Amino acid sequence: MDSSPETQPLPPPPPEPPREPILNLPAALAAYVALLAVIHLRVLLPPDIEYWTIEVFGFIPKRYDATLLATPFAGGSGAKVWSFVTYSLLHANLSHIIFNVLWLLPFGSAVARRFGATRFFLFMAVTAIGGALAHLVTHEHEIAPMIGASASVSGAMAAAIRFAFARGSFLSLRSGDADAAARVPAQPLIRALRDPRVLAFLAIWFGINIIFGVGSIAVGNEGASVAWQAHIGGFFAGLLLFSLFDPVPRSAQTSAHN
C-alpha cells in the first residue's frame, strides 16, 4: 500500500513592518503649520481688505510712536499688544510661507516633541515677541509692517541646538527614534557654546541671515525688505529662554559639568 508523507501546513507569512509616514510630524507642529496655511488664505480677499489685515495684525514700529506726529493705525490700542505675536502668523506670499515651513520642519519637530503642545505654542509666541522687540529697537518710527514666522522659526532652531548635538539626539551620529532623540538631556548653555558643532551652526546661521537676509519681510510703502534683526531677536530668545520651557531633567553627568 502506497504511503504519502503527511502534508505540513505552511507557516504564516511574517507580518509586514509598519510603514512610517514620510512626514512624521508631531501634532503640535502640524497644527501650527495648518494654522499658518489657513491664515494665509487671507490673500484671497480683496486687496484693500487684505492689506487691512496686515495693518491690524502686522507689527508696525510707528504704532508705538508717542510723539505728536504719531500716526493712527487700524486696530487701535489692542493692536499694540496682539501684534507682538500675530505678525508671526502672516506671510507676504506663498514662497515666503513655504520657506519658513521648510526651515521649521526639522527643528520645530524636535522642539515640539520635546516641549509638548502647550509649551511649544507658548515658546513660539515668546520667540515672536523677542523678534518684534529686536525689530522695534532697530526700526524705531518705521511705518512698514513686519510679517513672517521667521523669528519664531529662528527661536526653534536655537532651542534645538541646545540638545540637537547631544549623544542620542537627532543631529548626533548615534540618534535613535525621533521621540527618544528629542528627549535627551540638554547641554548647559555655556557648555553648548563651547561645542565646535554648535559654533559652526551659529556661524552659518548668522552668515545666512546677515549676508543673504532671507526670511521675514516688511511690507509697506517702501516696498519689501528683510527684517533680519527680528530673526536674531527670536534666535536669542529661544537660546536664552530654552531652559524655562524644557521639561526634560538634566542627567547627573550633565549637572556635574554645569
pLDDT, tens digit, 9 for 90 and up, residues 7-54: 555 555 555 544 444 457 899 999 999 999 999 999 999 999 999 999
In which band, very low, low, confident or very high, does the pLDDT at 222 lie, cut at 50, 70 and 90? very low
Residue-wise DSSP of 39-50? HHGGGGS-HHHH
**pTM score, whole prediction:** 0.79
The better pLDDT of the pair 253, 7 is held by: 7
d(CA 85, CA 57): 8
The arithmetic mean of pLDDT across residues 147-167, rounded, is: 88
In which band, very low, low, confident or very high, does the pLDDT at 121 lie, cut at 50, 70 and 90? very high
Burial 210-247 (b: 16+ CB within 10 A, else e): eeeebbbbbbbeeeebbbbbbbbbbbbbbbebbeebbe
In which band, very low, low, confident or very high, does the pLDDT at 256 lie, cut at 50, 70 and 90? very low
In which band, very low, low, confident or very high, does the pLDDT at 257 lie, cut at 50, 70 and 90? very low
* Cell, residue 38: 489657513
CB-CB neighbours of 60 under 10 Å:
28
* Cell, residue 179: 521621540
pLDDT at residue 221, rounded to an integer:
41
In which band, very low, low, confident or very high, does the pLDDT at 175 lie, cut at 50, 70 and 90? very low
Q: Rounded to a whole number, what is the largest CA-CA distance in the chain?
A: 116
178 to each of 111, 166, 201, how far by Cα in Å? 11, 14, 21
pLDDT at residue 235, rounded to an integer:
95
Q: What is the rounded average pLDDT for all residues in the chain? A: 81
Return the percentage of the chain with pLDDT > 70, whole number: 74
The arithmetic mean of pLDDT across residues 128-146, rounded, is: 93
What is the Cα 216 distance to its own chain's centre?
12
Residue 172 predicted with pLDDT over 50: no
pLDDT at residue 57, rounded to an integer:
96
In which band, very low, low, confident or very high, does the pLDDT at 204 lie, cut at 50, 70 and 90? confident
Question: How do residues 231-252 score in pLDDT, each as one tens digit?
Answer: 999 999 999 999 999 998 875 4
d(CA 62, CA 174): 49
Residue 94 predicted with pLDDT over 80: yes
Return the percentage of the chain with pLDDT > 90, whole number: 47
CB-CB neighbours of 67 under 10 Å:
7
Q: What share of the chain is helix, strand, coil (3-state, %, to 5)?
A: 60, 5, 40
pLDDT at residue 66, rounded to an integer:
75
In degrees, to the nearest 5, what angle opens at C-alpha 181 toward C-alphas 179 and 187?
130
Paired with 147 in beta bridges are 217
Question: What topology is assigned to 27-247 in CATH?
Answer: Rhomboid-like fold (1.20.1540)
| Secondary structure class of 225 (helix, strand, coil) | strand
The arithmetic mean of pLDDT across residues 78-105, rounded, is: 93
In degrees, to the nearest 5, what angle opens at C-alpha 202 toward C-alphas 25 and 191?
90
Give domain limits for the chain: 27-247
